[in-house]
Amino acid sequence: MSDTRLKDRIALVTGASRGIGRAIALTYAREGAHVIAVARRTGALEELDDDIKALGGTATLLRLNLTNGDKIDGLGPTILERFGRLDVLVGNAGILGPLSPLGHVSEKDWDEVLNVNLSANWRLIRTLDPLLRISSAGRAIFVSSGAARHFQAYWGPYSVSKAALEALVKTYAAEVSDSNVRANIVDPGVVATAMRAKAMPGEDPATLTKPEDIAETFIRLALPNFTENGVIVGT
């Protein structure tokens, strides 16, 4: 794997066990990165690890529920002790939440969507920023959605969380503008994922873009020579 573009880079990917996150993790591993794969399900992480090993890559598996703030806060010290730095952070994990009138959304559902889609990414930034700054070219990439900018009825919690995520990432980008860190956003468009199937159950997934077809964008943003900062990149 000597000719790979992410050789020896340390990359953490949340939501790595399926969909877009899994495609990113596999592609990063194929390109030579050591992947810290974060997800909730042990079985799916182990399957991912098997596939990464089949590619000749390496991974560290981390079972973590992103609603557990204390566990997220502990990532920075743990990764620093083991790897000494972090080169790439991909904040991909997200949930759809209820598609419902705002007045019908429960407090529990509202809090869960905001916690996973927004607050968890703030905690990741807070604990991992020092490690990204140690890297010669730290890259932070977060997955958003067109729902952050194009609003429609019944998508309130999800749209609000993604709009706030974009504000969070652009704020972080401004704060790291004079450092070796770059923070950007990917809007993947319509992709055949479990979340998309839940939102649009009548849609034929065969007509949609596959997660692996957009992974190249995440390589490009992870490279040291990608120097744009605070931008939204489509796939």
What are the structural domain ranges in the chain? 10-234
The answer to whether the CB of 123 falls within 8 A of the CB of 69 is yes
201: pLDDT confidence band, cut at 50, 70 and 90? Answer: confident
CA distances (Å), origin 14, targets 92, 223, 228, 230? 5, 18, 22, 20
Mean pLDDT for the stretch of residues 95-99: 96
Residues with Cβ within 8 Å of 41's Cβ and at least 6 positions away in sequence, in order, are 17, 63
**Average pLDDT of the chain?**
95
Active site residue 28: no
What's the pLDDT tens digit per position in 115-167? 999 999 999 999 999 999 999 999 999 999 999 999 999 999 999 999 999 99
3: pLDDT confidence band, cut at 50, 70 and 90? Answer: low
pTM value > 0.85 = yes
CATH of the domain spanning 10-234, picked from 3.40.50.720, 3.40.1010.10, 3.40.50.300, 2.60.40.10: 3.40.50.720
Coil, helix or strand at residue 45? helix
What's the pLDDT tens digit per position in 170-183? 999 999 999 999 99
The two structure tokens encoding residue 105: 């959304």
